Amino acid sequence: MTTDDEIAGALEAMADLLEAKDVEYKPRAYRRAAENIREHPSSVAALAEDGTDALDEIDGVGDAIAAKIVEYTETGKIEELEELRGELPVEMDALTRVEGVGPKTVGTLYRELGVRTLADLDRAAREEKIREIHGFGPKTEQNILENIEFARSARERELLGDGRPLADAIVKHLADSDPVERVEVAGSIRRWRATIGDVDVLVGAEDHGAVLDAFTDWERVESVIESGENKASVRAGGGVRVDIRVVVDAEFGSALQYFTGSKEHNVDLRNYALDRDIKLNEYGAFDISDVAAPESDQRVGERIGGHTEASMYDALDLPTIPPELREGRGEIEAAAAGELPDLVTEADVRGDIHAHTDWSDGGFTIEEMVGQAAAFGHEYIAVTDHASGPGIFGNTGLDDDELIEQIDAVEAVAADAEVEVLTGVEANIDAEGGLSVSEDVLDALDVIVASPHSALDADIDAATERLTTAMEHPAVDVLGHPHGRLLNQRAGLDLDVTEIAAVAAEQDVALEVNSNPTRLDLWGRPVQTAVEAGAPIAINTDAHSPGEFGNVRYGVHTARRGWAEPSDVVNTWPVEELRGFLH
CA distance 290 to 301: 8
- Domain for residue 85, yes or no? yes
Query: pLDDT tens for residues 499-522?
Result: 999 999 999 999 999 999 999 999
Alpha helix segments (H runs only) across 21-137 = 26-39, 44-48, 63-75, 79-87, 92-95, 103-113, 118-126
What pLDDT sits at residue 532? 94
In this predicted structure, the answer to whether residue 394 has a pLDDT above a threshold of 70 is no
Asked whether residue 196 falls in the same domain as residue 308, the answer is no
Closest CA to 369 of 361, 381, 360, 377: 381
CA distance 565 to 567: 5
Residue type, 3: T
Asked whether residue 267 falls in the same domain as residue 216, the answer is no
Residue type, 36: N
In this predicted structure, the answer to whether residue 380 has a pLDDT above a threshold of 60 is yes
Asked whether residue 568 falls in the same domain as residue 488, the answer is yes
CA distance 429 to 415: 32
Asked whether residue 95 falls in the same domain as residue 229, the answer is no
The counts of H helices and E strands in the chain are 24, 17
Query: pLDDT tens for residues 165-198?
Result: 999 999 999 999 999 999 999 999 999 999 998 8
Asked whether residue 363 falls in the same domain as residue 320, the answer is no
Asked whether residue 272 falls in the same domain as residue 353, the answer is no
Mean pLDDT of all residues in 117-125: 92
CATH number reported for the structural domain that contains residue 165 in this entry: 3.30.460.10
Closest CA to 181 of 200, 208, 155, 219: 208
> Which residues span the domain enclosing 279?
252-336
Classify burial at 422, counting beta carbons within 10 Å of its beta carbon; exposed 0-12, middle 13-18, buried 19 or more: buried
Closest CA to 268 of 188, 333, 193: 333
CATH number reported for the structural domain that contains residue 360 in this entry: 3.20.20.140
- What percent of the residues of the chain are helix, what percent strand, and what percent coil, each to the nearest 5? 50, 15, 35
CATH number reported for the structural domain that contains residue 289 in this entry: 3.30.210.10
Residues with Cβ < 8 Å from 472, sequence gap 6 or more?
503, 507
- Domain for residue 341, yes or no? no
Asked whether residue 203 falls in the same domain as residue 264, the answer is no
Computed from CA positions of residues 341, 347, 349, 352, in that sequence, does the dihedral angle turn out positive or negative? positive
Q: How confident is the model at residue 87 (pLDDT cuts 50, 70, 90)?
A: very high
Classify burial at 459, counting beta carbons within 10 Å of its beta carbon; exposed 0-12, middle 13-18, buried 19 or more: exposed
The total of structural domains in the chain comes to: 4
Asked whether residue 319 falls in the same domain as residue 467, the answer is no
Which of 126, 154, 182 terminates a domain? The answer is 154
Asked whether residue 296 falls in the same domain as residue 361, the answer is no
CATH number reported for the structural domain that contains residue 72 in this entry: 1.10.150.110
Q: DSSP string covering 370-410, please?
A: HHHHHHHT-SEEEE-PBBS-TT-GGG--B-HHHHHHHHHHH
Which of 122, 154, 186 terminates a domain? The answer is 154
- Domain for residue 444, yes or no? yes
Query: pLDDT tens for residues 410-449?
Result: 999 999 999 999 999 999 999 999 999 999 999 999 999 9
205 — phi, psi (to 5°)?
-165, 160
Mean pLDDT of all residues in 255-275: 95
Look over the chain and give the mean of its residue pLDDT values, rounded to a whole number. 92
Asked whether residue 186 falls in the same domain as residue 61, the answer is no
Query: pLDDT tens for residues 323-358?
Result: 999 998 899 999 999 999 999 999 999 999 999 999
Asked whether residue 487 falls in the same domain as residue 439, the answer is yes
Residue type, 74: E
Which of 34-48, 215-229, 272-286: highest mean pLDDT? 272-286
- Domain for residue 190, yes or no? yes
Closest CA to 456 of 384, 520, 391: 391
Q: What pairing do the DSSP bridges indicate for beta strands 231-236 and 221-227? A: antiparallel
Which of 124, 154, 184 terminates a domain? The answer is 154
The pTM score is 0.77
Q: How confident is the model at residue 47 (pLDDT cuts 50, 70, 90)?
A: confident
What pLDDT sits at residue 42? 56
Asked whether residue 149 falls in the same domain as residue 130, the answer is yes
